[in-house]
Structures are given as structure tokens and as C-alpha cells.
Amino acid sequence: MVQAESLTKTYEEKSVVESVSFQVAEGEVFVLLGRSGCGKTTTLKMINRLVEPTSGQVIINGKRTSQQDPIALRRNIGYVIQENGLFPHYTVEENISVVPELLGHDRDEMRSRLPDLLTQVGLSPEKFIGKYPKELSGGEQQRVAIARAIAARPPLLLMDEPFSALDPITRSDVRTNFYRLSKKFGITVIMVTHDVAEAIEIADHICLMEEGRILRQGEGKDFLFGDNNAVVASFFDAARFETELKVVTITDLLSSLTLKDEEGAVAGEIGLDDRLYSVLDKFSRAKILPLNVRGQDGRTHGTTTLSSLLEAFFKLERRRSS
Ligand SMILES: Nc1ncnc2c1ncn2[C@@H]1O[C@H](COP(=O)(O)OP(=O)(O)O)[C@@H](O)[C@H]1O
Ligand SMILES: [Mg+2]
């Protein structure tokens, strides 16, 4: 859907983005990850021509953006900026419905969808629908901006650190709901973040940048368990344990997991697609009792305890670091 080809941006002879190329498939969440100042925002803005590339090009659905009218181009590309960009004199309801109305969506249909949309981003409709941006906290404003972007259902959505002002718990919930809705409506998303754990959690593909260049592209798992150079590894090390728990599934552990045929009490079930993170949560309630591992076909693979699960996880860890 989106191809960036050798994108370069130079300011006063200094390259801030250098020869950046990537492809984003239709319907995927693609994350530009990197430290502050590495050129993420500049790259994002070259996609909707808020910044014109010094060289290189962007092709969207087979058409070069350089040959399209920038205003017309931007009408079909959603954009959520870090500073939320809400209209100060519009209420929450007006802010969310103005873009879809401009795009010709039905007004009444939009109205009827609004309460659900606000709920999805963790805002109570009754409380927030009539408020003005200045009456909201930074995190609440950001959530209205996310709701507004989803409401317009653009084929392509660019987001620049959209969850940065949210507290960790709200952030995780809003992110999960956002991911689900983007998939439901088939929105292709290119998102910028400096947060490794966030990238791992939400990205179908990650493009890691440093000093204007791409260090590596791939799926979250490639960065954690793949063959990485020291620079890439160091980037992920700080949040490694947390992020590994979020990407490793029971399937990943199956080959080194000792499963038993337990006749006695089990405290519940886990699925093969369950992530270790959520399984640990189940064990915190199951305590020392084992849990049943059930496959998609409904077949029971056996039972596992917390200690055999962790043992399998550390085996995977050792394989990575050896
Ligand atoms: N308009 C501009 N003029 C000069 N330098 C700029 C301009 N915009 C961005 N930069 C510089 O380019 C680098 C990358 O910026 P940016 O893309 O905003 O990084 P990020 O979003 O990764 O934090 C920074 O060093 C920034 O100071
Ligand atoms: Mg930025």
C-alpha cells in the first residue's frame, strides 16, 4: 500500500533522514521506532507531504505522492499528531464528527457511533461529549484525537506518538482497542514511537531508526530473538524482559515445555496463542495449581505449572544469548 523509496531530508546540508526505504502492506500496523531526534517525525511527514523530501519518493497504491495535489492527498490520509490538534472552539462531539462529515459520511450514523467510539478510548460519553478541549487533560485530549481519527476511517492513518500523554494502564487499554478497531475497519497505520514495549505490543512490523537511518526492520520477535547486532540488541535490552513476556506465546515454548497428564485439580485453561504475560496473570490466580493447555481444535495438550513454564522460557532466553 505504501512504499517509501530512499527518502532523504536535508536541512542546511545536514541529513536528518537518510535513504530510508520501507514497505507497508495494506491493513498492517507499521511502527517507526527510535530515540528522540532520530528522524521519525520527519519521515512520517514526508508521507503526507507536510515535509517535502530532498530526494526519494513515496508511492501510495501505485501512485507517486509527488504527482498529487498535497491537499487532496492529505484528505485521504488521517493524521494524529503528538499535540493532538483538536479544534479549540469545537466540543468533543463536533471535533470527532467534523472530518467524517467533510468526507461525506452520514451525520446521523456518525452520531450513533460516537458513544461507542468514546467508550473504546476510555472516555465516558455522557461526561465528555459536550466538553471543549481546554476542559480536558492532555491524555483525554489525545484520546479524543484518536477517536476522531478512527471515526473518519481513513484508508491510511499516520500517528505521531499518539499514546504518549496517557498513563500506563489507560495507555495499554486504549492501544489494544485501537489495534482491534484498526483491524476491524482495515485501516493501514504508520505510527511513530520511542517506546520499545509499545512498539512490540502493537506493531505488525517495526522499522528501527537511528540518526536518520534504518538499523533494522522486521517483526517484534526478530528484534528480541533474531540475529541482531550489538546496537540493535542494546536498544531492546532495557525493556527486554517486559517485552519478551508480551510477545512469547505458549506455542513458542511448546518444544521445551514439559506437559503432564494431570488427573487432579486444575485451576483453568490457557490457549496456545496466549502470551506469556497474560498466562502469568492467570497463574497469579491459580497459584500452585496447574493449568490446562488447550489447542485451537479444542484438544488438551496436557497441563503445565508455573515453574515448568518459566523453565521453558529461560531455555528460550539462553538460546538467544548463547
Ligand atoms: N525544519 C527543520 N529544520 C532543521 N532541522 C530540523 C527540522 N525539523 C527537524 N529537524 C531536525 O531533524 C532531526 C530529526 O527530527 P525529528 O524527525 O523531529 O525526530 P524524532 O521525531 O525522531 O524525534 C532533529 O535533529 C531535528 O532537530
Ligand atoms: Mg517526533
Boundaries of domain holding 120: 2-243
Extended strands (E) in 163-212: 188-193, 205-210
Which of 199, 214, 243 is a domain's end point? 243
Backbone angles phi, psi at 89, to 5 degrees: -95, 10
Contact 207, 47 (CB under 8 A): no
Tell me the average pLDDT across 225-252: 85
Q: 52 pLDDT exceeds 90?
A: yes
**What average pLDDT score do residues 148-175 get?**
90
Give residue 321's pLDDT band: very low, low, confident or very high (50, 70, 90): low
Percent of the chain with pLDDT over 90: 58
Pick from 199, 224, 243: which residue ends a domain?
243
Ligand 2 mean position to 293 CA, how many Å? 43
Q: What pLDDT score does 18 carry?
A: 97
82-108 mean pLDDT: 85
Please tell me the predicted confidence (pLDDT) of residue 106.
Answer: 81
Mean pLDDT of 37-55: 97
In this prediction, residue 71 has a pLDDT band, given cuts at 50, 70 and 90, of: very high
Domain at 281, CATH number: 3.90.1280.20
Q: Which atom of ligand 1 is nearest to the CA of 194?
A: 22
Give pTM, 2 decimals: 0.85
Which atom of ligand 1 is found nearest the CA of 11?
4
Task: Clarify whether residues 295 and 178 are in a common domain.
Answer: no
Residue 191 has pLDDT above 90, yes or no: yes
Collapsing DSSP states into helix, strand and coil, what is residue 194? coil
Which atom of ligand 1 is closest in space to residue 38's alpha carbon?
Answer: 22
Check whether residue 189 and residue 303 sit in a common domain: no
Quote the ligand 2 centre to 309 CA distance (angstroms).
39
- Best CA proximity match to 177, nearest among 112, 117, 136: 117
Do 310 and 198 lie in one domain? The reply is no
Q: What is the pLDDT of residues 141-159, one digit of tens each?
A: 999 999 999 998 999 999 9
Contact in structure between 153 and 180 (CB atoms under 8 Å): no
- 21 and 60 share one domain: yes
pLDDT, position 312: 92
Find the mean pLDDT for residues 120-130.
94
Q: Is residue 160 domain-shared with residue 278, that is, in the same domain? A: no
Chain centroid offset of residue 256 CA: 30
Total domains in the chain come to 2
